[in-house]
Amino acid sequence: MPIDYPAVLNLKTEATPFSWSDREVMLCALGIGMGSDPLNEKVLQFVNEAFATHQQGGSDLCLGLRLGARPGVIDLNRVMFLDGESAITFHKPIPVEASVTADARVRGLYDKGKERGAIIQNEVVVGDGEGDKIVTIVSSTFARGDGGFGGSSEGMPEPHRIPRRAPDRLVDIPVRPDQALIYRLSGDRNALHSDPEFARRAGFPKPILHGMYTYGLTCRAVLQTYADYDPSAFHRHRVRFSATVFPGEIITVNLWKDGNSISFEAHVRERQVTVARNGQTLLG
């Protein structure tokens, strides 16, 4: 059935409780490929509890990626469901172990047409229970099979513009063949990332990587090039997903530095596709 518009815009939940320990922090870090060099001591703060428990902020880029608060149930064609873009603003360091609450709401809904799908934009604000914000997560979902519900296509946020000059830095990051199976253990168990038959029904030759894995990989690229592996340096990180990534590929991240603003895009050169566009990190 079509999206119930405009009622969907009123969906929200408040004070949903979440908690985590260093185990979830390390699993999420492994899920985005950190720890591939187990002798890199700068990475150990993310994947080894002896380091993580002493590095407040080592969880920022990991747990910030996937807190599962949702504003409510929207009737969508789940087979045709993809991550669209995501932006995380860090208001304070995320502790390695914490109990928090999250408020979620539908922030925007855009109808691209019956053949082009719909964009659903959600906002999640995570707080520490004492009135202080920890992170704000704004994410969009591309519902490829749910356009034509009668909404407007106007008002979508403008993307960040990438500099026209040659990149200042370039990073190649290989993706493990089993990376999607690891990442899904942090909460997103969409069969599109693990079930070959489901992936074929969705129009893909095999399971694809999570969009939020690509998000985490671009975090890694900025972290190791311009932040000296210090996650507390991140104020905001945003990116638009533009093509799928398959496990086993090599992702090349191009980066441009302008003051405290790092622009980036990610490519799979073997297939000559850009998988992440209009990326920007603001360093504090």
Q: Which of 37, 25, 105 is nearest to 66 (CA)?
A: 25
3-state SS, residue 244: coil
**Is the separation of the CB atoms in 31 and 175 below 8 Å?**
no
**Helix residue ranges, H only, the chain:** 22-31, 44-47, 49-52, 60-63, 179-183, 196-201, 211-226
* Structure token pair of residue 231: 């996650």
Catalytic residue, from 188, 210, 237, 267: name it.
188
| Catalytic residue check, 193 | yes
Backbone φ and ψ of 108, nearest 5°: -165, 155
Catalytic residue, from 146, 193, 237, 267: name it.
193
Q: What is the DSSP letter of 149?
A: S
152 vs 154: CA distance, rounded Å: 5
Strand order in the sheet with 12-20: 12-20, 98-111, 118-127, 133-143, 81-90, 234-241, 273-283, 261-268, 250-258, 169-174
Catalytic residues: 188, 193
